[in-house]
Amino acid sequence: MAVLKDVFPSLAEVPAEWQLNGFIEQREYLVGGELCTWQGEMNEVMSPVSFSDGDRVKKNIIGSTPLLTEKESMQALDAAVLAYNNGTGEWPTMSLSNRIAHVEQFLMEMKKQRTAVVKLLMWEIGKNLPDSEKEFDRTTIYIEDTIRELKRIDRSNSKFENEEGVIAQVRRVPLGVALCMGPYNYPLNETFTTLIPALVMGNTIVFKPAKYGVLFIKPLLNVFRDCFPKGVINIIYGRGRETVGVLMESGKIDVFAFIGTNKGASEIKKLHPKPHRLRSVLGLDAKNPAIILPDADLDITVSECVAGSLSFNGQRCTALKIIFVQEEIAERFLAKFIPAVNKLKVGMPWEDGVKITPLPEPGKTEYLTGLVKDAEYFGAAVINENGGEVNDTFFYPAVLYPVNAQMKVYTEEQFGPVVPVVPYKNIEEVIDYVVQSNFGQQLSIFGNDPKQIAHLIDELANQVGRININAQCQRGPDVFPFNGRKDSAEGTLSVADALRAFSIRILISTKDNAANKAIVQTIVKEHQSNYLRLDYIF
Ligand code: G3H
């Protein structure tokens, strides 16, 4: 063990401002506007940040969360169903400007919890400080943008159309009860980018936090309780099979917002007794390739490929998970890529300039070691010094070369710091890889020849949701559509698209005659309806 030997700190070495100050026992869950206290079995929260204890590394249990049962899960669902009340509840019928006011209140209170949330993100999922702060800030900006976009949509709907003798107005209304589940890598951002649009559109929610990245909700529980009418948002904890299955089997979930694996999503979705009643908004697996053409600018390519494959240790759905490099420039690329990987600082999430941090998933380092061994068996080598070294939850990035189709890492989503590099002779080999892949989220092309890039765009535009030129794959900016094909996604998210995903249009129409016009005019003039109206929300 070389580079990772002393990577973990002792408790005393953790800077005072990031100390946790004790075990966090989190027994509360939110149902029907009440914070209930769970007295049953608890789930231990193990931090990826272990402690050094002399020559040993000690696991670090930082807290615990409830392991609720089907009973509490159903209570949460019943509260959401009651608050929706077949679309007649206070929340779904509330005027849009009042719903927005609730979300604005929530946002204001949420911002006060920034430090507490950021600290817990570092301890629970090992995300470094700048990225944890960015996750928080990006989420608050997303909420502000959502409110702005919703007002814009509402203003543009504040009019009547008159077509073929039919006068009509179109508005957007909620779908019903939404089940929102997020991923551990962006437990705040990716969850809230479905939960907030679902809420503000008038749906009621059952929210189950991700597997890891759970304690950080604790500082927000009161905020959720205080900012929304009872039953509008319900927060449950526990194992998926005990808490989520029963919800879906009830047939009372109308929208399923889930970020995770396609296998997990399919298992839950198929439990719904009336599949046509369920709308799904899913962000799933990906194996985004980088395609490096012979004339690529290697400085740009290397910096984008390092960030693309190893930001947050490669634990991004949008990460570059396989790099195809034209064999003529493979050596030159690797000669720059390897030193750039080796420059990434390893350490604890709060340390200055740290890029590579410990991994939150139990068993992950063993899985990644297995991938490396499998690739070695089929002829690849780890070509960077210390690559694949493990210390407890830490895995030093491994660059594998030359990777081929026999290896698991060629098709499997590693979701971690293993970077497979495949040399190719003919671009058709890469096109074939993308076409045959089970996933279709994004890809990156690195090159300078417009003709060749245009050819690739045209070959691959029907395979993925986004093609990046001389840039890594990424979700943002959030105003752009974020989606995927095949097993990578269902539906499209962006600030505007999410509002559409969690709503349906209601058309209110009448035949164009004097009597009907008079009725409509009276309703509008006297502000008799929340829906049929001409007022503007500024
Ligand atoms: O894990 C998937 C995230 O949505 C990726 O977002 O590309 O901004 O890191 P990002």
Residue 185, ligand 1, Cβ within 6 A: yes
Q: Token match 């929210």: residue?
A: 207
Nearest CA to ligand 1 atom 8: 475
Which atom of ligand 1 lies nearest, measured to the CA of 319?
7
Give the per-residue pLDDT at 532: 96
Q: Which residues contact 149 (CB under 8 A, 6 or more apart)?
A: 495, 496, 499
- Dist. CA 135 → ligand 1 center (Å): 10
pLDDT > 70? residue 307: yes
- Dist. CA 117 → ligand 1 center (Å): 19
pLDDT in tens, 423-468: 999 999 999 999 999 999 999 999 999 999 999 999 999 999 999 9
Residue 474, ligand 1, Cβ within 6 A: yes
**What is the average pLDDT value for the chain, to the nearest integer?**
97
Nearest CA to ligand 1 atom 6: 475
pLDDT > 90? residue 348: yes
pLDDT > 90? residue 54: no
Alpha-carbon distance of 436 to 438, in angstroms, equals: 7
- Dist. CA 185 → ligand 1 center (Å): 9
Q: Which helix (H) or strand (E) holds 163?
A: strand 161-163
CA angle 323, 326, 328 (to 5 degrees): 135
Measure the CA dihedral 31/32/34/40, to 10°. Answer: -30
Q: Which structure tokens are listed for 408?
A: 């698991």
Identify each DSSP E strand in 164-237 by its residue range.
Answer: 166-174, 177-181, 204-208, 233-235
Mean pLDDT of 299-310: 98
Q: 78 and 71 in contact (C-beta within 8 Å)?
A: no
- The preferred substitution site among 311, 317, 480 for testing ligand 1, maximizing ligand atoms within 8 Å of CB, is 317
Among 148, 219, 207, smallest CA distance to 177 is for 207
Q: 403 and 380 in contact (C-beta within 8 Å)?
A: yes
CA angle 397, 400, 406 (to 5 degrees): 135
Q: Reduced to 3 states, what is the DSSP secondary structure of residue 165?
A: coil
Alpha-carbon distance of 416 to 436, in angstroms, equals: 23
DSSP string for residues in 353-365: TEEE----STTHH
Among 193, 204, 232, smallest CA distance to 498 is for 193
What pTM does this model have?
0.97
Residue 318, ligand 1, Cβ within 6 A: yes
Give the per-residue pLDDT at 55: 85
Give the per-residue pLDDT at 517: 97
Q: 284 and 265 in contact (C-beta within 8 Å)?
A: yes
Give the per-residue pLDDT at 373: 98
pLDDT band of residue 403 (cuts 50, 70, 90) is very high
pLDDT above 70 covers a percentage of the chain that reads 100
pLDDT > 80? residue 376: yes
Q: How far is CA 66 from CA 10, 73, 393, 512, in A?
A: 29, 12, 24, 58
Alpha-carbon distance of 528 to 534, in angstroms, equals: 11
pLDDT > 80? residue 1: no
Alpha-carbon distance of 460 to 482, in angstroms, equals: 17
Alpha-carbon distance of 530 to 523, in angstroms, equals: 10
Give the per-residue pLDDT at 21: 85
- Dist. CA 203 → ligand 1 center (Å): 25
- Dist. CA 454 → ligand 1 center (Å): 26
> Around 257, how many Cα atoms within 13 Å sit in the side-chain half-sphere?
32
Give the per-residue pLDDT at 521: 97
pLDDT band of residue 396 (cuts 50, 70, 90) is very high
Residue 186, ligand 1, Cβ within 6 A: yes
- The preferred substitution site among 134, 190, 414 for testing ligand 1, maximizing ligand atoms within 8 Å of CB, is 190
Q: Which structure tokens are listed for 119?
A: 């600290």
Question: Burial letters for 370-409: b for 16+ Cβ neighbours within 10 Å, e otherwise?
Answer: ebbebbeeeebebbbeebbbbbbbbbbbbbbbbbeeebeb
Residue 475, ligand 1, Cβ within 6 A: yes
Q: 487 and 269 in contact (C-beta within 8 Å)?
A: no
Q: Which helix (H) or strand (E) holds 33?
A: none
pLDDT > 90? residue 303: yes
pLDDT in tens, 252-283: 999 999 999 999 999 999 999 999 999 999 99
pLDDT in tens, 151-188: 999 999 999 999 999 999 999 999 999 999 999 999 99
Nearest CA to ligand 1 atom 7: 474
Give the per-residue pLDDT at 13: 95
For the chain, the straight-line distance linking the first and the last C-alpha, in angstroms and rounded, comes to: 61
Residue 316, ligand 1, Cβ within 6 A: yes
Nearest CA to ligand 1 atom 2: 317
Sign, Cα dihedral of 490, 492, 498, 503: negative
Alpha-carbon distance of 280 to 258, in angstroms, equals: 8
Which atom of ligand 1 lies nearest, measured to the CA of 189?
4
pLDDT in tens, 220-245: 999 999 999 999 999 999 998 889 99
Which atom of ligand 1 lies nearest, measured to the CA of 474?
7
- The preferred substitution site among 137, 184, 186 for testing ligand 1, maximizing ligand atoms within 8 Å of CB, is 186
| Percent composition of the chain: helix, strand, coil (DSSP 3-state, to 5) | 40, 25, 35
What HEC string does 241-260 produce? HHHCHHHHHCCCCCEEEEEC
Among 517, 74, 128, 89, smallest CA distance to 350 is for 128
The residue count for the chain: 538
Alpha-carbon distance of 62 to 212, in angstroms, equals: 12
pLDDT in tens, 58-108: 999 999 999 999 999 999 999 999 999 999 999 999 999 999 999 999 999
- Dist. CA 318 → ligand 1 center (Å): 5
Which atom of ligand 1 lies nearest, measured to the CA of 316?
1
Q: Token match 């081929």: residue?
A: 404
